[in-house]
Amino acid sequence: MKVKDLLKEENFRIIAGEEGIEKELQGVYIGDLLSWVMAHLQENEAWITIQSHVNVIAVGVLNDAACILLAEGASLDEDAKKKANEENLAVIETNLTAYELAVKVNKLMKENE
Amino acid sequence: MKLMSAINLEFVVAKEDFSKAGEASSSIKKTLKKLGIDSKIIRKVAIVTYEAEMNIVIHSIGGKIMVDIDTEKIKIQAIDQGPGIEDTEKAMEVGFSTATQKVRELGFGAGMGLPNIKKNSDNFEISSEINKYTKIESLIYVNP
């Protein structure tokens, strides 16, 4: 499936990096400790986190994440939005918990197989 | 990969500049992509440079990252101007960190940086002198 397929869900609001929605999405990684994420997030995975500062975009870009999914109403600061737009990395805001988000993405991946 | 002459990159990394943190690593990654280096190797270099860059931002008073690329290997050196690490062996332990609470809240300070660098290097060296410098050198072979 593609990142844009997530946006059909009403709870998913794209807040930056709109140009990146054509990317392939092939899995999910959840984590808020950046060094762990750096070591384990794989290419084309959606990264679920509550971290919302500019360095999160760098970690997402360096790991070729499909997109960043912000859980539990976390939002991006302006620096981070600007960077996500520059790097074409889609950032999507939701009110769901990390668990609910992962379950939802898994369901969507199966439907879009 | 096509034959190429050595390429040398150098980036100045400022202390506590979180707004620019990651830019050196991103730039290095883009260069390696353009050179057609294997994506698995690029991933290793990205992890090493990112962790080294964040270490300089979080822990040092400033430093630089140098990357030398040739057809066989990629050499990454990160050197800062202090304050130095008292016990480099301790600093290499997974989970050991001297990061402040403020920095930890941003998701840093997991005590994974140096172990991540070592794990992704084919050869790794660290040296440090109090009030002078910390230097890490990581070697990654292009065709392992």
Instruction: Write out chain A residues lying below 8 Å of B103, CB-based.
Output: none
Q: Is A33 in the B-facing interface, judged by CB distances under 8 Å?
A: yes
Q: What is the mean pLDDT of residues B54-67?
A: 97
CA B143 – CA A67 distance, rounded (Å): 30
Q: Is A78 in the B-facing interface, judged by CB distances under 8 Å?
A: no
Domains for chain B: give ranges and CATH numbers: 7-141 (3.30.565.10)
Residue B18: per-residue pLDDT:
86
Q: What is the tens place of the pLDDT at every residue in B6-60? A: 899 999 999 998 888 899 999 999 999 999 999 999 999 999 999 999 999 999 9
Q: What is the pTM of this model?
A: 0.93
Residue B84 is encoded by which pair of tokens? 């130095």
Instruction: Write out chain A residues lying below 8 Å of B41, CB-based.
Output: none
| The pLDDT of residue B2 is above 90 | no
Residue A48: per-residue pLDDT:
98
Residue B3: per-residue pLDDT:
52
Mutate to test the interface with B, among A30, A33, A35 (most CBs of B within 10 A): A35
Q: With cut-offs at 50, 70 and 90, classify the pLDDT of residue B141.
A: very high
Q: What is the mean pLDDT of residues A97-108?
A: 97
Residue B1: per-residue pLDDT:
47
Q: Cβ separation of A38 and B26 shorter than 8 Å?
A: no
Q: With cut-offs at 50, 70 and 90, classify the pLDDT of residue A113.
A: confident
Task: Work out the mean pLDDT of chain A and round it to a whole number.
Answer: 96
Q: What is the tens place of the pLDDT at every residue in B114-130? A: 999 999 999 999 999 99
Q: Cβ separation of B23 and A58 shorter than 8 Å?
A: yes
Instruction: Write out chain B residues lying below 8 Å of A63, CB-based.
Output: 43, 46
CA dihedral angle for residue A57, residue A96, residue A30, residue B91, rounded to 10 degrees = 70
Mutate to test the interface with A, among B27, B40, B44, B47 (most CBs of A within 10 A): B47
Q: What is the mean pLDDT of residues A12-24?
A: 97
Backbone torsions φ then ψ of B44, nearest 5 degrees: -60, -45
Smallest Cβ–Cβ distance between B110 and the set A36, A58, A79 belongs to A36
Q: What is the mean pLDDT of residues B65-90?
A: 96
CA B119 – CA A39 distance, rounded (Å): 10
Percentage of chain B modeled with pLDDT above 90: 91
| The pLDDT of residue A107 is above 70 | yes
Contact A79, B19 (CB under 8 A): yes
Residue A93 is encoded by which pair of tokens? 């805001």
Q: Cβ separation of A62 and B19 shorter than 8 Å?
A: no
Q: Is B43 in the A-facing interface, judged by CB distances under 8 Å?
A: yes
Q: What is the tens place of the pLDDT at every residue in A62-102? A: 999 999 999 999 999 999 999 999 999 999 999 999 999 99
